A and B are shown apart, each in its own frame.
Chain A
Amino acid sequence: GIQVEQSPPDLILQEGANSTLRCNFSDSVNNLQWFHQNPWGQLINLFYIPSGTKQNGRLSATTVATERYSLLYISSSQTTDSGVYFCAVGADSNYQLIWGAGTKLIIKP
């Protein structure tokens, strides 16, 4: 089955810094989502991005499907950005989303 790897596993930054989170996947996908799991456990949809580039405020994402990776950019980090960021993918052969292990982000004031 598809393997999903996220890096880095942990990231600690000062408020105001920028960051790039990476998601590599081992096979072709037709569904890729980025989620933020906040400290209360709620999974929040950030992007549905099987290909291309999207932006939403301080966050943007790019998926290069042919090279099997996706990047999530966070600019001008705020303490509320803290939490775990998950990448999850789906393909024709799978009904379920296959999840990476997540990147734990801590933003210090």
Chain B
Amino acid sequence: GAGVSQTPSNKVTEKGKYVELRCDPISGHTALYWYRQSLGQGPEFLIYFQGTGAADDSGLPNDRFFAVRPEGSVSTLKIQRTERGDSAVYLCASSVTGPPYNEQFFGPGTRLTVL
């Protein structure tokens, strides 16, 4: 079946602009995660959804970052007033159930560049 998909694959924006990144999880997966990866480092956790609710948003760096999953499937990560430091690859993952016994499957990522 289809894996996790993310759109767009690349996004270039100017400092101060608003961006939305979309994640389509594997069908039937109830848990969804957002991570951020900077060059040369491992992924950094941002937020975890179980169904429609954000069960853990402790990784969101500040209030410019927000994510939703209104119908328990597709999720959107929203970044307001983008800064150059937000440039990274944003990864989405999904799993059949939530933690702790959860094998996570990752999408191809969205490469965000803030000029």
Contact = CB atoms under 8 A, between A and B. Distances in A.
A31 B108 contact: no
A95 B56 contact: yes
A96 B33 contact: yes
Interface in B42-73: 42-45, 48, 55-56, 59
B25 interface: no
Contact of A94 (B42, B44, B91, B99): B99
Q: How large is the interface on B (under 10, 10 to 19, 20 to 34, 35 or more residues)?
A: 20 to 34
Contacts of A42: 106, 108-109
A12 interface: no
B80 interface: no
A31 B41 CA distance: 21
B20 interface: no
Contacts of B42: 86, 88, 99-102
A48 B104 CA distance: 9
Given A86-B42, A102-B42, A43 B106 contact: yes
Contacts of B99: 31, 90, 94-96
A97 B104 contact: yes
